[in-house]
Chain A
Amino acid sequence: MVTRSAGHRIRDAILAANGKVGGSSVLTHVPQPLTRPFGSAEQLEHECVEAVAVGEPKASPRGTGFLDGIQRYSVVGRFGLVPVVRGYVAAAVLGRRNENLCVRHQVSEEFVATSIGRLSGEQLRELENTRLPLYDSGGDDREHPILDMHLAARVVEDRRERAEQRVILSYLRDRPEGWLVVDGSIAPYLAEDGASRILGLIKSHETQFLEGEDLRTAMTLPVGHRSSVFARRTNGRDKAYTWYLRLWPWDDRGLLHGLVRLELAPVDEAVVQASEISAWMLSERSPLSAPDSRWDRLIYPMRQVESYLRAQVGEWL
């Protein structure tokens, strides 16, 4: 008798006990611990999370914009151990005109980030002479080469978020109507005027708000289905309305394949609009954003914003 390989034996076992086979490719790297694995949810649409068929894909309304931002930074040198970081951030909104994407708004910023408190007067003056914006990355009295870099990186990220915010604001202001799809959570923009026209498209699922059967339903949505809408708490006391949507069949591909989460400002219409908005996203599956490895969750216009911004920076250094 031929001995079956370990892989086959395990698959047989899973199938024998009503499990589903299929998952990831071979991994070697153990990921960092998750910073916020759990959040909480409050059901809005149904008592328990259900899988809702979205229906036929449907083009999003004319005038919909797509936002993304990028960042680049590098250590240019050091004063003693203090890193002097050159940073670049940019953000843009692309809109569609006759099926072609074109730039509606964009901003960019180039700056220096360093631990200002640790510099001498002369060092500071010289940096100021560059006439680039200078941002403080802070830091304790005690120096730590890695931690100081992390702090500088935080500044860069913060600048990018602000750049995105600026673009969003001018976009919402200039266009009294139409949706804006942003890459990631809408939490930072909830306070803005027009926040109800922002749709967050979240591709990573580090924080889980649901649990038990609700989570199982959400994580195993069939293609073309969404979960019930629920509310999640954002950082402060604010709420965002959110739901999961499966863009591509996931059987054999792993649990999260094609799974995105959509977020809206907490307005009553959100529940009513969830299926329609989901249908828009389904229509965005074509054209495919492959060869980007995140093609199952990254919609083509978002990838184009990113490509555009990357092309703008060029080599940067």
Chain B
Amino acid sequence: MRPDHNPTIGRVVATEAMPSGTHQFQFWTATDTDLGIGAIVRVNDDSGRIVYAVVTDGRSYSDLATPLHDVVAAEGDPAAKRGPTRRTEVRLWTGAVLRQEPEEPLQPVPLAAVSLATKEDVEFALRMDSYVRSETAGGIPIGIYTGGGMSAPVYLDADFLLGPESAHLNISGVSGLATKTSAVEFFLTSMFQTFPAHKGSIAAVCINVKGPDLCFLDQPGELTDVDREMYGQLGIDPRPFEHVCYHAPFKADGVNLNTLRSHHELAKSVQPLVWGLREVLDYHEVLLNRDDIDAKSDAFIDFLTDRVVEKDFTDEWGTTHRVCTFSDLERLFRSIFEGLEATGRSDMWRTHHIATIRKVRNRLLNISTRCKGLVTDDGSVSDLPFGSFEDRSVHVVDVAGMDQLAQDLVFTRVVSKLREHLERRDLGVECVIVFVDELNKYAPGDGPDTYVRKMLLDISERGRYLGLVLFGAQQFRSQVHRRVVGNAGTTLYGRMDMDELATPGYQVLSPATKIKLATLPKGELMIRHPHFTQPVFVRFPRPPILPGPVGVQKFPPAKEVDFEDAVVMQLSTLDRRILPGRVKELIVGHRDDAVRRALLATRRAQPDDALAFFEAALGTPVAREQVTGSVGKTTRLKQVEDPYAS
């Protein structure tokens, strides 16, 4: 029993035509009331039964039987002076039951007094008591419920957010007003600060798909006093993320990074994302499935991956190939074509038709062109630190400036790698949140069944057992594959589009709730969460992070520079003492890709003496071996055979 309740503001009423049910009921209040749609109320029956409910609809009417009577009273003149008495009027509200006490037997809502919920009532009504107060508590603040002059923090249950009970979070709403990106940023802040250590370690991988959106997660943003007060109430320190690492591919030139976070003060935290032949071949389905890749091509690619790549492979004409890069691969293809031509043999090479070989060759080499900057043909690799993810670290993978095909490749490979490592339990953290904005682009409801979408479906359905959690955002939920949104245990809605609300997915919402959603101010959300029987409205503060558009003003992206200057600049972000002249002297006579590789190795190693390291890396092949040893974590460089080195 919870005897303390607020003063009575309404009474439950029921008629035969409009009875009180177990899940819905009507009550009336005075015409001047603090109540509104989304408010949480409590029904207090003398018998001891208490019902908690959220207001989903409100109507008002008077005892006027027909509008004609008003016309008669005004003698047909709308401007006629109003009578001295106001008609009796009713404010009739619909409440949707959140929780009943006792829960069994489940009974219709009693015809009793209604009061506004207290803070404790809100906690109980939303069943938060079970995960906010318990021993193994895992309540993550998502925002503040306000109603009738009272406010109370609202928590989500970590077990239902990150698994194993249920998982994933999805947020919808119109562009610019729904505050989707901001809400996710705020919530990640909240989660990183409040996720209890006993539940394990977590990290986040955010795919930045739009401009500078997620480029300044480590920079403090401006907050209002209201925001700060909300942070106080939620028990969160409004500070930006501490461990953020950025990963961005190069632009086509191979030295300038393809990201808006290229200001020299921040450049140090951006790691280039560079993949080689092996990384691409492993995910060839992404690149090839759009076209008519068939079983024959598949078989040939399998042959390449199993028998050729990174192995000593001797062809029929006596040449031994070691294919580690796209260039090596091209050399192999040329050797095959020339060999076949010279010997005038059939159209087949080792059971593969020459047409198939040509097709695969064209596709693969095309990739290194379309994804230039991401895919190198010289064999150097720079990747996310799979295996050494740190607790509460954020990895932003910036694909905003990339070709769609390259975005798909990055996305698929990053997620697949996360999955592999989580399955083997050697990622470095137990749980990783993948935040994908514009989910409709990657998992559309209709359109071809792409590899990317299949993978997202797979995470949605099985990720919770692995600790692979998807935070997805999109404008229109109806445009995302049903199983992807349907599997999100928690759903947030910002300001919504009316046409979207008219689609079948929103039929469960009352008309008043829909109108409220269509007019929701910035910073307010509607939440569906497994513990909440009904959707609940909350407010949340601005994220304590520099918003993307403000960030690019404060930290304007570095101007694109020519090759030499880019090398100088990147080295000087590692060590300010480096003299430009010295760098330029060093690289004279070296091929661009050799310089790129040395630069990449230096950036990754972040050594104390960057210039010395760079010089060593640039020097002789022997020196390169030493470099690899000191990098430690990756073994890729060891296998690199620079065709132009000698």
A315 to chain B, nearest CB (A): 13
Contact B69 A290 (CB under 8 A): yes
- When distances are taken between beta carbons in the complex, the residues of chain A under 8 Å from B64 are 287
Residues of A within 8 A of B66 (CB): 290-291
Q: Is B560 an interface residue (CB 8 A)?
A: no
Answer whether residue A59 sits at the interface, using C-beta atoms and an 8 A cutoff.
yes
Give the distance in Å from the alpha carbon of A304 to the alpha carbon of B86 in the complex.
Answer: 11
Would A286 and B88 be within 8 Å (CB), given that A291-B65, A291-B69 are in contact?
no
Instruction: Flag if A99 contacts B84 (CB, 8 Å).
Output: yes
Check A307–B88 contact: CB distance below 8 A.
yes
Q: How would you classify the secondary structure of chain B's contact residues: helix, strand, loop or mixed?
A: loop
The verdict on A111 contacting chain B, using a C-beta distance below 8 Å, is no
CB distance from A68 to the nearest CB of B (A): 14
Complex contact A288–B73 (CB within 8 A): yes
Q: Are A288 and B69 in contact (CB under 8 A)?
A: yes
B63, B65, B73: the one within 8 Å of A286 (CB) = B73
| Bound CA–CA A290/B66 (angstroms) | 9
Closest approach, in angstroms, between the C-beta of B362 and any C-beta of chain A?
Answer: 83
Residue pair A287, B83 in contact (C-beta under 8 Å): yes
| Chain A residue with Cβ nearest B86 | A99
**Quick check: B86 and A286 within 8 Å, CB to CB?**
no
B65-82 residues with Cβ-Cβ distance < 8 A to A are 65-66, 69-70, 72-74, 80-82
Instruction: For B59, list chain A residues within 8 Å (CB).
Output: none
**A96 within 8 Å of B (CB atoms):** yes
Residue of B nearest to A59 (CB): B84
CB-CB under 8 A for A287 and B73, given A101-B85, A300-B83, A304-B88: yes
Cβ of B582 under 8 Å from chain A: no
Within 8 A of B (CB), among A74-122: 96, 98-101
A286 to B80 Cα, complex, angstroms? 10
Contact B84 A100 (CB under 8 A): no
Known interface pairs A287-B64, A287-B70, A288-B70; A100-B86 also in contact (CB < 8 Å) = yes
- How far is it, in angstroms, between the C-alpha of A96 and the C-alpha of B86 when the chains are bound? 9
Q: Report the separation of the CA atoms of residues A285 and B65 in the bound assembly, to the nearest whole angstrom.
A: 16
Residues of chain B within 8 A (CB-CB) of A304 are 85, 88
Task: Give the complex CA separation of A288 and B65 in angstroms.
Answer: 10
Find the residue from A57, A60, A100, A286 having the highest chain B CB count within 10 A: A286
Q: In the complex, A113 Cα to B614 Cα: how many Å?
A: 113
What is the bound-complex CA distance between A287 and B64, given in angstroms?
Answer: 9
Query: With the chains together, A56 CA to B488 CA distance in Å?
Result: 68
Q: What CA separation (Å) do A191 and B82 show in the bound complex?
A: 36
Which residues of chain A have C-beta atoms less than 8 A from B86's C-beta?
98-101, 287
Q: Are A284 and B88 in contact (CB under 8 A)?
A: no
User: A301 in the interface, Cβ–Cβ < 8 Å?
Assistant: yes
Sort chain B's interface into a size bin. Answer: 10 to 19
Taking the complex as formed, is B559 at the interface, i.e. its CB lies under 8 A from any CB of chain A? Answer: no
**Complex Cα spacing A304 to B81, Å:** 21
B72 in contact with A288 (CB, 8 Å): yes
A165 at the interface (CB under 8 A from B): no
Does A283 sit within 8 A of B, measured CB to CB?
yes
| B87 at the binding interface (Cβ < 8 Å) | yes
Taken together as a complex, chains A and B put the C-alpha atoms of A290 and B74 apart, in Å, by: 13
Contacts of A295 in B (CB 8 A): 69
Number of interface residues of A (CB under 8 A): 21
Chain B residues in 8 Å Cβ range of A59? 84
How many angstroms from the CA of A60 to the CA of B66 in the assembled complex?
26
In chain A, positions 274-312 with a C-beta closer than 8 Å to chain B are 283-288, 290-291, 295, 300-301, 304, 307
A198, B63: Cα distance in complex, Å:
28
Interface string of B4-15 (1 = CB under 8 A from A): 000000000000
When C-beta atoms are compared, the residue in chain A nearest to B62 turns out to be: A287
Chain A residues closer than 8 Å to B70, beta-carbon distance? 287-288
Measured CB to CB, the nearest residue on chain B to A308 is: B88
Contact among B63, B83, B88 with A285 in the assembled complex (CB-CB below 8 Å): B83
Q: Roughly how many angstroms separate A57 CA and B72 CA in the complex, as a whole number?
A: 15
Complex partner residue of A290 from B65, B80, B82, B84, CB under 8 angstroms: B65
Q: A290-B65, A291-B65 are in contact. Are A284 and B73 (CB under 8 A)?
A: no
Q: Which of A286, A291, A307 contacts B83 (CB 8 A)?
A: A286
> Closest Cβ of chain A: how far from B455's Cβ, in Å?
64
Bound form: Cα–Cα A215–B275 in Å? 110
In the bound complex, CA of A101 to CA of B74 (Å): 20
Residues of A within 8 A of B82 (CB): 286
Contacting pair B85 A300 (CB below 8 A): yes
Q: Is the CB of B85 within 8 A of A287?
A: yes
Q: Is the CB of A284 within 8 A of B83?
A: yes
Q: Which residues of A contact B80 (CB under 8 A)?
A: 286
Enumerate chain A residues within 8 angstroms of B84, measured Cβ to Cβ.
59-60, 96, 99, 283-284
A288 CA to B71 CA in the complex, in Å?
A: 9
Convert A48-67 into 0s and 1s, putting 1 for each residue whose CB lies closer than 8 angstroms to a CB of B: 00000000010110000000
> In whole Å, how far is A314's beta carbon from the nearest beta carbon of chain B?
12
Pair A290/B83 contact, Cβ less than 8 Å: no
Is the beta-carbon distance between A301 and B65 smaller than 8 angstroms? no
Interface 1/0 per residue, B364-384 and A, CB below 8 Å? 000000000000000000000
Chain B CB within 10 A, most for which of A60, A99, A288, A300: A288
Assembly CA distance A287 to B72 (angstroms): 9
User: What's the minimum C-beta distance from B236 to chain A, rounded to whole angstroms?
Assistant: 45
CA distance A307 to B83 in the complex (A): 19
- Bound Cα distance A60, B83 (Å): 10
Contact residues in B for A286 (Cβ distance below 8 Å): 73-74, 80, 82-83
Shortest Cβ distance from B65 into A: residue: A291
Give B550 Cβ to nearest chain A Cβ, in Å: 50
Q: Which residues of B contact A100 (CB under 8 A)?
A: 85-86
**Assembly CA distance A99 to B31 (angstroms):** 13
Q: A300–B80 Cα gap in the complex (Å)?
A: 17
Interface string of B163-195 (1 = CB under 8 A from A): 000000000000000000000000000000000
- Give CA–CA (A193, B65) in the complex, Å: 40
Q: How far is the CA of A300 from the CA of B72 in the complex (A)?
A: 14
Shortest Cβ distance from residue B479 to the other chain A in the assembled complex, whole angstroms? 50
Instruction: Give Cα distance in the complex from A57 to B80, angstroms.
Output: 11
Query: Which chain A residues lie closer than 8 Å to B85 at the CB level?
Result: 96, 99-101, 284, 287, 300-301, 304
CB of A189 to closest CB in B, whole Å? 24
Cα distance, A101 to B83, chains bound together (Å): 12
Of A60, A284, A287, most buried by chain B (CB within 10 Å of CB) is A287
Contacts of A283 in B (CB 8 A): 81, 83-84
Residue in chain A with minimal CB distance to B84: A59
Separation of A290 and B83 alpha carbons in the complex (Å): 14
Bound-state Cα–Cα, A301 to B88, Å: 10
Minimal beta-carbon separation of B582 from chain A (angstroms): 86
- Chain B residues within 8 Å of A60, by CB: 84
Q: How far is the CA of A166 from the CA of B644 in the complex (A)?
A: 115
Which chain B residues in 82-101 approach chain A with CB under 8 Å? 82-88
Give the docked Cα–Cα distance between A269 and B88 (Å).
35
Contacting pair A101 B88 (CB below 8 A): yes
Taken together as a complex, chains A and B put the C-alpha atoms of A284 and B84 apart, in Å, by 7
Q: B563 → chain A, closest Cβ, in Å?
A: 80
Closest to B89 in A: A100
Residues B282-308 near A (CB distance < 8 A): none
Chain B residues near A291 (CB, 8 Å)? 65-66, 69
Residue in B closest to A304 when the chains form the complex, CB atoms: B88
The 8 A-B pairs at the shortest CB distance, nearest first, are namely A286-B83, A286-B73, A288-B73, A99-B86, A291-B65, A290-B69, A288-B69, A59-B84
A-B contact pairs, 25 of them (CB 8 A): A57-B81, A59-B84, A96-B85, A99-B84, A99-B85, A99-B86, A100-B85, A101-B86, A284-B83, A284-B84, A285-B83, A286-B80, A286-B82, A286-B83, A287-B69, A287-B83, A288-B70, A290-B65, A290-B72, A295-B69, A300-B85, A304-B85, A304-B88, A307-B63, A307-B88
A interface residues (Cβ-Cβ under 8 A, vs B): 57, 59-60, 96, 98-101, 283-288, 290-291, 295, 300-301, 304, 307
- Additional A-B contacts beyond A101-B86, A290-B69 (15; CB < 8 A): A98-B86, A99-B84, A100-B86, A283-B83, A286-B73, A287-B69, A287-B73, A287-B87, A288-B72, A288-B73, A290-B66, A291-B65, A295-B69, A300-B83, A300-B85
